[in-house]
């Protein structure tokens, strides 16, 4: 341990008291400002929003809103990527709720144009309940663990596990 | 889509999701949200809180130096800042603190630095202390009324010090975190990456248990800072500072100090 600290002291240009010295890499890692985070993660966030909402048209709007909220809560965002993901999940839940209400009163919008090989599964995914769809996207696109899915969705681990399992089961039944 | 096994289904789902993501239209250049500034503000995030945690211990030492300085000097040297040592309450005979520090007593050096510093860090700190002593030497002849300075600033610094003392627990918690094997391993990986010219590992790789501890620490610190900020004690201190700004004696003192500062 002492060798690690000694090497770290050589790497850190500013002398700092003993315990905080070990945290310097994290402070530096975290020091990326909002603009850096935004430019780095914006495209990925739009893609995720597309998958979560099912609409490319609405994805940019959701991503912008997610980053706007992130900016307002920048003080609390220890991990901006995870934080914006959580915001996005909530925004998508709201979007799905609104769309469900709209769907009862408005004609269905035309389905998005995608390559034929993607179309079937993509359409099936859109028929899942929003929660199952979100759980599957977070698990299989973002490659999050079940625990991380639960954290992003604000539910229990068991609930997330169940949503993933039932989502997969629904897809399997539709495909057979 | 093949559904021969659960793994096939999951693999195919992954493929479909990634393919759809590739077809996502991102739009042209990515403008910042309209209500975000063109240049982001200075980081006030938990980084700030963590940085505050980093500096609280140092501030404790610094305020001790300040109080001692304002009270007319003493045995505390600038090295106390780096050591974040305990507050010094003994009162030394009155003397011009600047002259005291510059008059051959600015001896902060190798013997007063923490023993576990590397040679490089020791040399770096020593160089900074030497610079400080050099600057102080230029202030030695300054005709500043130290009694008036003490009367103006001393009580404020004393109150500030007592407020900062409430954050004493941070040091112990940070020590415990610094000794965490997971953090040590992470630091090793970070150094190895930096040494080989690679990007440092992302925070995503931090051990979840350690991250939870760090978050708990920052959360507690944040709460305590907020409570302190909202406390009547802190508000009163702020008001007193504002009053000090308006005080003609303080203005005169500052003007004298400006004249004495090395150019």
Q: Which of A19, A69, A75, A161 to mutate to test the interface with B (most CBs of B within 10 A)?
A: A19
Contact B46 A122 (CB under 8 A): no
Q: Is B68 exposed, middle or buried (0-12, 13-18, 19+ CB in 10 A)?
A: buried
Taking each helix axis as running N to C, give the angle between helix A56-72 and helix A80-105, from 0 to 180 degrees, rounded to the nearest 10: 130
> Is the dihedral angle over the CA atoms B153, B154, B158, B159 positive or is it negative?
negative
Maximum mean pLDDT: which of A40-49, A78-87, B194-203, B222-231: A40-49
Contact A140 B10 (CB under 8 A): yes
Please tell me the predicted confidence (pLDDT) of residue A135. Answer: 94
Please tell me the predicted confidence (pLDDT) of residue B124. Answer: 72
- Say which residue, A94 or A18, is predicted with more confidence: A94
Please tell me the predicted confidence (pLDDT) of residue A91. Answer: 92
CA of A98 to nearest chain B CA: how many angstroms apart? 22
Kindly indicate the confidence band of residue B167, based on its pLDDT and cuts at 50, 70 and 90. confident
Kindly indicate the confidence band of residue B205, based on its pLDDT and cuts at 50, 70 and 90. low
Please tell me the predicted confidence (pLDDT) of residue B214. Answer: 74
* Residue in the structure block whose two tokens are 């341990």: A1
- Say which residue, A153 or B86, is predicted with more confidence: A153
- Write out the two tokens for A34: 């909002």
Q: Which range, of A128-132, B126-130, B137-141, averages the lowest pLDDT?
A: B137-141
Please tell me the predicted confidence (pLDDT) of residue B206. Answer: 61
CA B251, B256, B261, B263: dihedral to nearest 10 degrees?
A: 100
Distance, CA of A135 to CA of A162 (rounded, Å): 9
**Percent share of chain A, pLDDT over 70:** 73
User: Could you tell me which residues come within 8 angstroms of residue A64 by beta carbon, excluding any fewer than 6 positions away?
Assistant: B33
Segment 52-111 of chain A within 8 Å of chain B by CB: 56, 59-60, 64, 67-68, 71, 74-79, 81
- The answer to whether residue A173 scores a pLDDT higher than 80 is yes
**Percent share of chain B, pLDDT over 70:** 47
- Interval B113-134 mean pLDDT: 70
Say if CB B262 and CB B135 are below 8 A apart. yes
User: Could you tell me which residues come within 8 angstroms of residue B253 by beta carbon, excluding any fewer than 6 positions away?
Assistant: B144, B145, B148, B149, B152
- Nearest Cα residue in chain B from A169: B6
Residue B105 is given by DSSP the state: I
pLDDT tens track for B49-58: 445 544 544 4
- Interval A163-172 mean pLDDT: 92
Average pLDDT, chain B: 64
- The answer to whether residue A27 scores a pLDDT higher than 60 is no
Three-state DSSP at A31 gives coil
Please tell me the predicted confidence (pLDDT) of residue B164. Answer: 77
- Nearest Cα residue in chain A from B59: A17
- Say which residue, B238 or A159, is predicted with more confidence: A159
Query: How many contacts, defined by CB atoms under 8 Å, are there between A and B?
Result: 205
């Amino acid at each position: 341990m002492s060798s690690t600290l000694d090497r770290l002291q050589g790497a850190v240009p500013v002398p700092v008291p003993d315990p905080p010295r070990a945290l310097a890499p994290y402070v530096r890692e975290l020091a990326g400002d909002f603009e850096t985070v935004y430019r780095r993660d914006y495209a990925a966030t739009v893609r995720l929003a597309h998958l979560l909402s099912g609409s490319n048209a609405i994805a940019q709007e959701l991503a912008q809103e997610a980053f706007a909220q992130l900016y307002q809560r920048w003080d609390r965002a220890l991990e901006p990527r995870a934080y914006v993901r959580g915001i996005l999940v909530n925004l998508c839940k709201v979007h799905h709720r609104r769309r469900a209400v709209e769907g009862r009163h408005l004609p269905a919008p035309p389905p998005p144009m995608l390559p034929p090989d993607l179309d079937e599964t993509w359409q099936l995914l859109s028929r899942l309940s929003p929660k199952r769809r979100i759980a599957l996207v977070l698990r299989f696109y973002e490659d999050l663990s079940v625990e991380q899915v639960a954290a992003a969705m604000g539910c229990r681990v068991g609930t997330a596990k169940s949503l993933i399992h039932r989502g997969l089961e629904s897809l399997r039944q539709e495909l057979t | 889509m093949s559904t021969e096994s659960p793994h096939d289904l999951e693999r195919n789902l992954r493929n479909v999701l990634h393919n759809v993501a590739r077809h996502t239209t991102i739009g042209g250049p990515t403008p910042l949200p309209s209500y975000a500034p063109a240049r982001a503000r200075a980081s006030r995030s938990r980084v700030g809180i963590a940085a505050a945690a980093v500096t609280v211990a140092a501030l404790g030492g610094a305020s001790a130096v300040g109080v001692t300085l304002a009270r007319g000097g003493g045995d505390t040297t600038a090295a106390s800042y780096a050591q974040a040592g305990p507050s010094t309450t003994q009162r030394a005979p009155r003397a011009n603190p600047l002259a005291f520090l510059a008059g051959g007593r600015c001896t902060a050096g190798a013997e007063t630095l923490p023993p576990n510093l590397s040679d490089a860090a020791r040399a770096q700190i020593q160089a900074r202390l030497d610079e400080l002593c050099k600057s102080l030497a230029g202030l030695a002849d300054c005709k500043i009324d130290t009694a008036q300075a003490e009367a103006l600033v001393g009580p404020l610094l004393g109150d500030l010090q007592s407020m900062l003392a409430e954050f004493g627990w941070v040091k112990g918690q940070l020590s415990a975190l610094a000794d965490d094997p997971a953090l040590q391993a992470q630091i090793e990986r970070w150094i190895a990456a930096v040494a080989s010219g690679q990007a440092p590992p992302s925070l995503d790789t931090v051990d979840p248990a350690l991250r939870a501890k760090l978050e708990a620490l920052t959360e507690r610190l944040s709460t305590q800072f907020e409570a302190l900020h909202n406390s009547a004690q802190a508000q009163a201190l702020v008001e007193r500072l504002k009053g000090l700004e308006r005080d003609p004696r303080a203005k005169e003192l500052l003007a004298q100090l400006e004249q004495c500062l090395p150019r």
